[in-house]
Chains A and B, each alone.
Chain A
Amino acid sequence: MNQNTDGRRPLLKAMGLTKYFGDRVGCRNITFDLWPGEVLGIVGESGSGKTTLLNLLSGQLVETKGTVKYSLAGKDLVDLNQLPAPQKRYLMRTEWGLVRQNPKEGLRMQVSAGANVGERLMALGIRHYGTIRSEVVKWFERVEIDVARIDDLPETFSGGMLQRLQIARNLVTQPRLVLMDEPTGGLDVSIQASLLDLLRRLVSELNLSLIIVTHDLAVARLLAHRLLVMRQGEVVESGLTDQVLDDPHHPYTQLLVSSVLHS
Chain B
Amino acid sequence: MDIKLRVEEIQKAFVLHLQGGMVLPVLSGVNLIVHAGECVALSGPSGIGKSTLLRILYANYKPDRGNVWVEHRGEWVNLLQAKPYRILEIRRSTIGYVSQFLRVIPRVPAIEIVMEPLRNLGYPPQECRLQAEAMLRRLNIPERLWTISPTLFSGGEQQRINISRSFICPFSILLLDEPTAALDDQNRKIVIELIQEAKTRGAAVVGVFHDREVKEAVSTRTFDIPKEKIS
Contacts and interface: CB of A to CB of B under 8 A. Distances in A.
Interface string B3-44: 000000000000111100000000000000000000000000
A258 B60 CA distance: 17
A60 interface: no
A194 B15 contact: no
Nearest to B75: A1
Interface in B44-84: 55, 59-62, 75-78, 81-84
A136 B61 CA distance: 44
A1 B22 CA distance: 40
Q: How many interface residues does chain A have, given as a range? A: 20 to 34
A243 interface: yes
B81 A254 contact: no
A249 interface: yes
A38 B87 CA distance: 12
Interface residues of B, number: 26
A4 interface: yes
B123 to A, nearest CB: 14
A246 B60 contact: yes
A22 to B, nearest CB: 32
Given A3-B75, A3-B82, A258 B18 contact: yes
A256 to B, nearest CB: 11
A61 interface: no
Chain A CB within 10 Å, residue with most, of B76, B78, B107: B107
B124 interface: no
Interface in B78-113: 78, 81-88, 105-108
B61 A243 contact: yes
Given A3-B81, A35-B85, A247-B61, A193 B18 contact: no
A242 B62 contact: no
Interface in A33-89: 35, 37-38
Given A3-B75, A254-B16, A242 B85 contact: no
Given A243-B61, A243-B62, 12 more contacts: A1-B75, A3-B76, A4-B82, A35-B85, A37-B85, A194-B107, A225-B88, A239-B62, A240-B88, A243-B59, A249-B15, A254-B16
